[in-house]
């Protein structure tokens, strides 16, 4: 009887001890995944697709899928224990595959933004890219990185590493390009994006993330009353096909002046040729003449209904501001709302559009032996 009693007490002590031990990073992350995460579990091109979640000490959460290296959700905690999802996205892998807008939340490459007529040359050799935004090539071509299943490694609860080897002449780009992207959600409520790439043949590279934001929350209506500030004194005008003309024009006394906090919609419908070309804002802002070693403050946005504020920092020379002008109510987001006209905006850190054909723009050439390295972050406060 005493032996049985001692055994029972020993087992009880072991059980209590086990319950008190911290769970592993993997189990902790898996338990906190959103309820739609199972709809991402599949195989594409023979590779496993799934959801990954990052969470910081303040309970802010970022949800990714390695299909396209996409940011699916960015959840800001509120005082009543609910969340505001400030990134629009879908609740299943099928929705991303069939979407009429291919770039929601995606990691973009090899070349973010447009290249005129899909043509460029390096050392006298001409290259022809796929034309997927006639008459130009956009965001890497018909099968850009938004359709790639990235190799994913969750380093810890706050860090996700994505990697991909883009083979020589994929979508017409020269060189075997090895890419690594690290997404980290730190305890200062910053989503940090670190990009690295190397090549075995001279090529062009311009990587970015194409998250669509609504700081009032997904499905909350248009973003025209968001307050926006862009720390740029100039922008690059475009022609009717959204290719830069080569000019760098001051924003002062134009609808493109966001050097002070201004509502996105304050001037968006003015009879301006550049607004007509972009059907609103779809333009590159000149932050600096060349990339910097340290990140600079590029922009600040505040949601008018929630007062959630996002600051954008980058080492890149340019920032593409897109006001959701081609959103056409053809897709349904996670919460059921449609992707209605101008219900999200993008601030894409980058080199300038069509740089391979614009000698006056900062170069996007990557040579063998060199390392492409750039960093950006979104900082949130509420």
Residues that are catalytic = 210, 348
Residues contacting 305, CB < 8 A, separation 6+? 216, 217, 220
Rounded to 5 degrees, φ, ψ at 93 are -65, -35
Distances (CA, A) of 136 to 3, 35, 240, 326, 371: 81, 39, 12, 17, 28
How does strand 296-302 pair with strand 249-250? unpaired
3-state secondary structure 63-126: EEECECCEEEEEEEECCCCCEEECECCCCCHHHHHHCCCCCCCCEECCECCEEHHHEEEECCEE
Q: How many residues does the chain have?
A: 382
Residues contacting 310, CB < 8 A, separation 6+? 86, 213, 215, 300, 301, 302, 378, 379, 380
Residues contacting 276, CB < 8 A, separation 6+? none
Tokens of 299: 């922009």
Burial of 254 (0-12, 13-18, 19+ CB in 10 A): middle
């Amino acid at each position: 009887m005493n032996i049985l009693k001692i055994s029972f007490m020993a087992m009880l002590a072991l059980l209590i001890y086990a319950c008190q031990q911290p769970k592993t990073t993997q189990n902790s992350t898996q338990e906190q995944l959103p309820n739609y995460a199972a709809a991402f579990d599949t195989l594409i091109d023979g590779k496993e697709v799934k959801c990954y979640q990052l969470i910081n000490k303040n309970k802010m959460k970022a949800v990714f899928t390695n299909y396209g290296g996409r940011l699916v959700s960015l959840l800001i905690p509120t005082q009543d224990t609910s969340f505001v999802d400030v990134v629009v996205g879908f609740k299943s892998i099928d929705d991303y595959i069939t979407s009429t807008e291919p770039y929601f939340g995606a990691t973009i490459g090899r070349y973010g933004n447009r290249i005129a007529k899909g043509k460029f040359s390096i050392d006298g050799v001409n290259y022809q890219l796929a034309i997927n935004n006639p008459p130009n090539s956009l965001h890497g071509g018909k099968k850009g990185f938004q359709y790639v299943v990235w190799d994913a490694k969750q380093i810890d609860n706050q860090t996700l590493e994505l990697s991909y080897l883009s083979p020589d002449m994929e979508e017409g780009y020269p060189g075997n390009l090895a890419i690594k992207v690290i997404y980290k959600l730190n305890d200062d409520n910053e989503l940090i994006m670190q990009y690295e790439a190397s090549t075995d043949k001279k090529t062009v590279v311009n990587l970015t993330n194409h998250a669509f934001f609504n700081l009032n929350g997904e499905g909350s209506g248009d973003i025209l009353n968001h307050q926006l500030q862009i720390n740029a004194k100039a922008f690059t005008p475009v022609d009717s096909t959204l290719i830069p003309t080569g000019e760098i024009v001051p924003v002062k006394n134009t609808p493109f002046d966001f050097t002070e906090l201004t509502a996105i919609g304050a001037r968006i419908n003015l009879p301006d040729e550049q607004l007509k070309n972009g059907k609103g804002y779809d333009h590159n802002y000149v932050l600096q003449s060349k990339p910097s070693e340290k990140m600079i403050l590029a922009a600040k946005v505040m949601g008018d209904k929630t007062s959630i504020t996002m600051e954008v920092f980058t080492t890149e020379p340019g920032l593409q501001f897109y006001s959701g002008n081609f959103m056409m109510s053809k897709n349904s987001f996670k919460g059921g709302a449609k992707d209605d006209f101008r219900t999200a905006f993008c601030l894409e850190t980058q080199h300038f559009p069509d740089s391979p054909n614009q000698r006056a723009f900062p170069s996007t050439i990557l040579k063998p032996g060199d390392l492409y390295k750039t960093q950006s972050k979104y900082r949130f406060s509420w």
